[in-house]
């Protein structure tokens, strides 16, 4: 069956020739769709997220450059960023040289705890309104 699809039906007459061409077109379209959804689209999403991350850089963010240098943003500029690497050492990088922004785990835990407490408050309010009815 797979050979039939990939190689096309054996040509027995002029009527079968049209069906074989149609099958080839369908296979080419399917191949293009696979390339788009598995290769091109995820790459575009990742690029947009990186651009958004770089645009949102602010003073005090911990960053890692594409060269592996860790530091803290001390002064963001329009096209460059000054990164404080050590007490007296500051290096100026292009914004495109920033690979990742490190997130402080302590702040994340606080945000998660706040979200959980807000959810419990909301659930308590909904339970109270159900009891009143």
pLDDT by residue for the chain (133 residues), tens only, comes to 556 665 665 555 545 455 678 899 999 999 999 999 999 999 999 999 989 998 888 999 999 999 999 999 999 998 999 999 999 899 999 999 999 998 876 655 444 444 444 444 445 555 555 555 5
- Residues 6 or more apart whose CB falls under 8 angstroms from that of 74 comprise 59, 82, 83, 84, 90
Q: Which residues are CB-contacts of 102 (< 8 A; sequence separation ≥ 6)?
A: 61, 62, 63, 64, 70
Beta carbons of 64 and 99 less than 8 angstroms apart: yes
């Amino acid at each position: 069956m797979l050979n039939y699809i990939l190689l096309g039906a054996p040509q027995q007459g002029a009527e079968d020739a049209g069906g074989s061409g149609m099958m080839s077109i369908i296979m080419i379209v399917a191949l293009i769709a696979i390339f788009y959804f598995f290769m091109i689209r995820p790459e575009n999403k990742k690029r947009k997220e990186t651009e958004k991350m770089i645009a949102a850089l602010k003073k005090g963010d911990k960053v890692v450059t594409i060269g592996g240098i860790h530091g803290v943003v001390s002064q963001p500029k329009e096209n460059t960023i000054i990164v404080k690497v050590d007490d007296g050492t500051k290096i100026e990088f292009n914004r495109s040289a920033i690979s990742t922004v490190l997130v402080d785990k302590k702040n994340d835990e606080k945000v998660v705890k706040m979200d959980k407490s807000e959810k419990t408050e909301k659930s308590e309010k909904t339970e109270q309104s159900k009891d009143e009815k």
